[in-house]
Amino acid sequence: MTDGFKEVLEKSSLHPKPAGLVLQYGTAGFRTNAKQLDHIMFRMGLLATLRSRKTKATIGVMVTASHNPEEDNGVKLIDPMGEMLTATWEDFATQLANTEQKELLAALKDIINKEAINMKLEAEVFVGKDTRSSSASLSQAVLDGVHALGGQSKDYGLVTTPQLHYMVCCQNSHGQYGEATVEGYCSKLSQAFLALSKNASNRTDDQKHLFVDGANGIGAPKLREVESHLKKQLQISIFNDGSRGKLNHQCGADFVKVQQKPPTGVEISPGDRCCSFDGDADRIVYYYTDSRGFFHLLDGDKIATLISTFLKELLVQAGLDLKIAVVQTAYANGSSTRYLEDTMKVIVRCTKTGVKHLHHAAQEFDIGVYFEANGHGTVLFSKTAEEKVQLLAKSTNINDERKRAALLLQNTVNVINQTVGDAISDMLLIEAILAIKGMTVQQWDAIYSDLPNRQLKVTVSDRRVIETTDAERRAVSPAGLQEAIDGLVKKYKQARSFVRPSGTEDVVRVYAEADSQESADALAHEVSLAVHRLAGGVGAEPKPLH
Ligand code: NG1
Ligand code: ZN
């Protein structure tokens, strides 16, 4: 044990913390300019090793800053079943990250004591990274941290975030979830996709064609690996594959969702079915342009609607009584919530922003479909739900319709990466559903019409002055802000607006929706002004959009 700590001391001096630097383990781990992260990475290697001893399981560490600019990077820990790190350990992560160099050993020992960690136990950490130029040395710093505390490591190199989550879950379920290799991932998902596709009636090559914007990130090369298993059932053209353009620059799911326009670098014709991944391929949005050149976005809400409709129909056909729910955040378009509740009659839950909140809420149902409007999401099946589906799929004394539905459900379970939102897995599921239902992207889009909406950012001196309640839909401080928002919302038809401090950027986010784009834009602007005035705005007041 003493020796181990000696190594920590020696190695940590190679990854020194800039004095005074304070960073927070936020909604998506640590995320900031890559230059500030070397010591964080080393320390997260240490922490993951402790977490592995504590849980007696393999832990994951992913080096990525997702949809942030190329200059940024970040890191997040993955818990044993592939889920996000538990909250108490997020606090340990923040403490360890902010401890000055000379206090590092004391901070480590503090965690070891508090959690009664047996340092004699073995530890194993899986490490992955995205394609950022800083990721290679930063992931090496993570590995240094793991080794300094005597942990074993497996470096998966370049993988998508959801692939690393998948590996961790496979390892800890001793292969029950699948094989903990990229090849195992590709073959599990593609086999399920091919089985689902058999239920589609004959499709032309055009109908099988999908245009994918890889955000110039890791999603593009990883999609190519999957594609080689798809036996041409899906014909993919990949744009922004990283060979030329800059990561997330004018492309990727976040750009397309927030700007509400197609990415640059994609040559598409009216009606072509397109989708965009984000930089680490855990988000996906779809879109097309119509013959008049108008852009149509199919975001996480439309994806959740398509998937939950499909699953609900299969449950009815299979005669399975399982409770299905859709989990959203306040950013979900009001039309989607209304459609799901009133027309589809499914349970809808609203949680705070951040995947872990959605994930936990979804776990409360037999089938929990969760999606953020930005396209991050997946489907969770309870153990009971999976068992009932398996049993029915095996049974011999049921009619053809029930059998077909049970097999479809079984393959749906297998195509989904239940550990976390996964652009590749979501894409395969969506493509299979469209094929089975014989649906075009336009028909999918027509299920309901989005309310026009606008997202804006306001810079304030301290965004923590904004505190919220009711799943972030109402602000409780600063005084007067919520009253101001309520007053503004009343001026517009079908309007809704809320504000919250971002967990990944130093800004306050403003969201507004209304019956027309002009109204949504005007409301978003007026609410931004209220935030600037009442919550300590920095710089010039926000200008109107038009
Ligand atoms: P913040 O910056 O807290 O709004 C953003 C996204 C989240 C989530 C995280 C993590 C929006 C409005 N917010 O969080 O949904 O995806 O990043 O990546 O899209
Ligand atoms: Zn991401």
What pLDDT is attached to residue 26? 85
CATH architecture of 5-158: 3-Layer(aba) Sandwich (3.40)
Is residue 241 marked as binding?
no
Residue 6's contacts (CB-CB under 8 Å, 6 or more residues apart) are none
What pLDDT is attached to residue 205? 84
Query: What would the two tokens of residue 22 be?
Result: 């304070």
Domains 5-158 and 184-298 share a fold: yes
Element containing residue 530 per DSSP (H, E): helix 517-534
Closest CA relative to residue 305, chosen from 275, 277, 333, 278: 333
Domain 184-298 in CATH 3.60.15.10 = no
Q: What is the number of residues in the chain?
A: 546
Ligand 1 nearest-atom number relative to CA 504: 2
What pLDDT is attached to residue 1? 45
Among residues 12, 66, 276, 519, the one annotated as catalytic is 66
Ligand 1 mean position, distance from CA 191 (Å):
32
Q: Which amino acid is at 382?
A: S
Ligand with an atom nearest the CA of residue 62: 2
What pLDDT is attached to residue 4? 63
CATH architecture of 453-535: 2-Layer Sandwich (3.30)
Determine the CATH number of domain 301-414.
3.40.120
Residue nearest to atom 5 of ligand 1 (CA): 504
Ligand 1 nearest-atom number relative to CA 509: 4
Ligand 1 nearest-atom number relative to CA 374: 19
Ligand 1 pocket residue status of 331, Cβ below 6 Å: yes
- Interatomic CA distance for residues 95 and 34, integer angstroms: 20
Is residue 29 marked as binding?
no
Ligand 2 mean position, distance from CA 68 (Å):
9
What pLDDT is attached to residue 472? 97
End-to-end CA distance of the chain: 64
Give the 3-state DSSP-derived string for 29-70, with helices as H, strands as E and coil as C: EEEEEHHHCHHHHHHHHHHHHHHHHHHCCEEEEEECCCCCCC
What pLDDT is attached to residue 544? 93
Ligand 1 pocket residue status of 353, Cβ below 6 Å: yes
Ligand 1 pocket residue status of 7, Cβ below 6 Å: no
Ligand 1 mean position, distance from CA 420 (Å):
15
Ligand 1 mean position, distance from CA 387 (Å):
34
What pLDDT is attached to residue 3? 55
Ligand 1 mean position, distance from CA 70 (Å):
17
- The pTM of the full predicted model, rounded to 2 decimals, is 0.96
Residue nearest to atom 8 of ligand 1 (CA): 354
Q: Please, what are the averages of pLDDT over each run of 10 residues along the chain (546 residues)?
A: 76 95 91 96 98 98 96 97 95 97 95 97 98 98 97 98 98 97 98 96 88 98 96 94 96 95 91 97 97 96 98 97 98 97 97 95 98 98 97 93 96 98 98 96 97 96 96 97 98 98 92 98 98 97 92
For the chain, which residues make up each domain, given as ranges? 5-158, 184-298, 301-414, 453-535
Is residue 504 marked as binding?
yes
Query: What would the two tokens of residue 90 be?
Result: 């997020």
**CA dihedral of 358, 362, 498, 505, whole degrees rounded to 10:** 10
Within the chain, what is the greatest distance between any pair of CA atoms?
A: 71
Pocket-testing residue among 27, 75, 258, 277, ligand 1, by greatest number of atoms within 8 A of Cβ: 27
Is there a catalytic annotation at residue 395? no
